[in-house]
A and B are shown apart, each in its own frame.
Chain A
């Protein structure tokens, strides 16, 4: 049996000829196939079929009546006289209001928590674990829980608010059936549920900041606030943009909290756009219209996250 590998390499006949003679290799395809099949059925195909459905008046219960309507499902959303117009923009506006409440709270509170926990304090991990714990619960659990806590009669918040007289003569608001109290209740529940998630991400980023920077600043006589605003915040910028973006996207997906806590009321006052799509598609059985709404909402989500990145990245270059 003639030559060793080294000898073959020296003569140059080696690797190339082995490679060209190799038969077509199926193995990699066998590895990716199981995933690829499900991906094709439940991600690839629906991406296209969703677009197609959005051009139909579509009801899966009466397929014989499905008719092609072109862009009507889309133009209806921008036509003030259509049935969908008021409902759609009301719900989209509600999701926007929720965002105004929840996104700042879900960035500032986790940032402060992360700064507090970014120490070599013994027992730090226990506090971190406790603050993060609510995140592992289902939206149903946390919504039902806060539905009970914010009840006007017997709810924890109002019992203490009344006892302490926090809201004066008028008493505490009916949290779940008046605005803007309902938004505050939904926001409090959401912040309690997810603040730990953002905190963990920010804490990991804080721990990457070299301690020498703070030591140098201390020697230069910088105080705590100066260090926070001149060192911590600028170095956290890219992670903060990431956290803000995922929080905005999560806020777009508001669905369970308002369903459980306020039943989307009072009079659709907390009905989020995800519920509108759900209702349009599966209670009214207008799947075409719901698909069109999904594409519009998805486009807005992508646009908002893109703008978010653009705006904050620009600042990045200016200092």
Chain B
């Protein structure tokens, strides 16, 4: 009997269990995971392949995965048609996302450092106020912020998209948590050496916070690049629009021209997919850590 108890775990393990897996079970697990990965990838591959298909090969009777005559015509059409200024959309998206990211990093890490390290009148009340708004649904701010942006004359202006993005509290909260993990001694040493508060922040705390800055930066960039509802409200001129809004115009301009639509989608997807491939660990780590709070 003692033998059988020892033998059982290996025999009974399956994909759900945690050790002692046999090669056969491993192979099955790989097979399942590979099928899942293929299912996830197929739509993206399909998007890309559609974008390089000429129009007459879209609706073939049997699905043709690789186009008989691959072509970049769809991309050229988008570029040459003044009603789908995809190059402007692309540069608008890049410009807005980069400015938002840079400013969010600057503004949020400054504030976070004060909330983490300095003692000042009203600090705790202010920080609790910030935390409270973290739980408010964004829909509350849609109408009033539109009216504020309108009153400031920032409709149809990049600033109407950029400035409200700086009001978020997630970054302050996120950076503050990180600053609190840095040992105080380093900053105290800098102070004794005669550095003022800003110098300490700039040359001690910020360099140590690089991983957190990278994480916040990439999350902010993605959020800005992909944002849909707010730019849809604020940027009405086609030439000022960002790619996600442009895709909506594109869908309206070309009925059932799916090759053109997918070319637009590819242009919007490729930069973030590249960013994801390079900075995957920062993105995944930030998502994983968000669950720990819960």
Interface residues of A (CB under 8 A from B): 25, 27-29, 31-32, 34-36, 38-39, 41-47, 49-50, 53, 60, 113, 115-121, 123, 126-134, 136-141, 144-149, 151, 153-154, 156, 159-160, 163, 192, 197, 200-205, 211, 214-215, 218-219, 221, 223-225, 227-228, 238-239, 241-243, 245, 249, 252-253, 255-256, 259-260, 274, 277-278, 281-282, 287, 290-291, 294-295, 297-298, 301-302
Contacts and interface: CB of A to CB of B under 8 A. Distances in A.
Given A116-B15, A140-B268, A223-B12, A294 B37 contact: no
B146 interface: yes
Contacts of B145: 42, 46
Query: Nearest 4 A-B pairs (CB), nearest first?
Result: A242-B294, A201-B291, A46-B144, A31-B114
B228 A136 contact: no
A151 B258 contact: yes
B147 A132 contact: no
Given A46-B145, A297-B139, A140 B294 contact: no
A17 to B, nearest CB: 18
Nearest to B129: A44
A53 B144 contact: yes
B143 A50 contact: yes
Contacts of A202: 291
B247 A140 contact: yes
Contacts of A297: 137, 139
A145 B50 CA distance: 10
Contact of B261 (A148, A204, A224): A148
B14 A43 contact: no
Given A141-B265, A201-B288, A294 B247 contact: no
B253 interface: no
B287 A154 contact: no
B23 interface: no
Contacts of B144: 45-47, 49-50, 53, 291
Interface residues of B, number: 107
B166 A38 contact: yes
A47 B294 contact: no
Contacts of B50: 148
B164 interface: yes
Given A49-B144, A140-B247, A25 B111 contact: no
B126 interface: yes
Contacts of A277: 139, 142-143
Contacts of B138: 253
Given A136-B222, A201-B290, A145 B111 contact: no
Contacts of A160: 63
B118 A28 contact: yes
Contacts, number: 306
B272 interface: yes
Chain B: interface secondary structure?
helix
B5 A219 contact: yes
A218 B9 contact: yes
A113 B141 CA distance: 36
A295 B138 CA distance: 10
B216 interface: no
Given A31-B118, A42-B164, A255 B229 contact: yes
Given A46-B148, A113-B36, A145-B43, 9 more contacts: A136-B283, A140-B243, A154-B258, A200-B291, A219-B5, A238-B294, A245-B294, A255-B228, A301-B137
Nearest to B9: A218
A38 B167 contact: yes
B69 interface: no
B41 A130 contact: yes
B191 interface: no
A149 B46 contact: yes
7 contacts: A31-B201, A116-B36, A129-B284, A148-B262, A245-B294, A281-B142, A301-B137
Contacts of A245: 294
B69 to A, nearest CB: 18
Nearest to B17: A224
A121 B16 contact: no
B110 interface: yes
A139 B272 CA distance: 13
